[in-house]
Copies of this chain bind each other. A is one copy, B any other.
C-alpha cells in the first residue's frame, strides 16, 4: 500500500468513528455538542491517531484494539487547536479551511469546547471497553504518557514560551524548546502510547521514542516552511501568519534551505532508529518520509 493510501485509509477510519465517541449534536445542551462536532469534524489529516495505530502495528498489535485511544488523541489535538485559536492566544480566524470555533460559537463556548474535548478524551481513554483486550495497567500507562506530553512540562509549556516569544528576538535554544515541547512531545507520546498499548518490549519502546522525537521536530520545521511557501487552499489556513505575528520559526532563524536539510536529517535519523523493526514498521517509516514531503 502506498503511503497516500495508508494515510487516506487511516483518516477514513478515524473520520468514520470519531462521532461515535461523543454525545450526538442533539444531546442537551446542544450548543456545546454542536461546537465539539464542528471542530472535530472540520477535517484534518488525523496524523496523531494514525501514529498511535501505526506504532501498535509496528510492535505486532492489531490497530483496531487501540482505535478508541487513537480517537481520544484526535480529541486532544482538536482541543489544542480550539484554545490556541482563541482571541487571547493566537487570535486565528481560519482553521482547516473553516472559521475557527470562537468565530462561530463565541469565546465562552470555545473555551468550554476545548475543555470538553480534552475531558472527553480522558473519558474515552479510561473507558472499560478499551480494557477488553489490553491490560488496565497498560491503558493507565499510555494515558499517563499522553497526559504528561500535554501538560505544563510539555505542549502547554511550549505554547507559553511561544506566546511569550512573539515579536521578540529569540535564540536557537528557545526556538527548539518551543518546537519540541509544543509539537514534538505530542507526536512522540502518540507513538509511545500506541506501542505501550500494543505491549512493546522496553527496547522497542526506546527505539520508537527515538523515532518519535526526531519526526516530531521534523514535522514542526516543515510546518514553519509551509507557512512561507505553502498553498493556503491546500493547508486550509492562512499562509504567512507566523511572519505577521513575528513568530519564531526555523526558516526565520536558519533560512529555508538549511531548515529543509535539518528536517530531512531528522527524518533519516528517526528512520535509522527503527533498524531492528521488521516490515510491520514500514508505515511508520513512510509516515516519517511523508512528514518532509508533504505540501499540506
Chain A interface residues toward B at CB < 8 A: 22-23, 27-29, 31-33, 36, 79, 83, 86, 88-89, 106-112, 114-116, 118-120, 122-123, 126-128, 131, 135-137, 139-141, 143-144, 147-148, 150-153, 156-157, 159-161, 163-164
A89 → chain B closest CB, angstroms: 5
**Contacting residues, chain B, for A23 (C-beta < 8 A):** 152-153
Q: Which residue of B lies closest to A118 (CB)?
A: B118
A128 to B110, CA, bound (A): 33
Contact of A143 among B111, B126, B157, B164 (CB under 8 A): B126
Contact of A89 among B108, B119, B143, B156 (CB under 8 A): B108
A27 to B120, CA, bound (A): 29
Contact of A33 among B29, B118, B152 (CB under 8 A): B152
A111 and B88 contact, CB distance less than 8 A: yes
B115 and A88 contact, CB distance less than 8 A: no
Q: Which residue of B lies closest to A106 (CB)?
A: B88
A22 and B122 contact, CB distance less than 8 A: no
| Complex A-B: 10 CB contacts under 8 Å | A31-B164, A36-B152, A86-B108, A89-B108, A115-B156, A122-B122, A122-B144, A123-B144, A128-B140, A136-B140
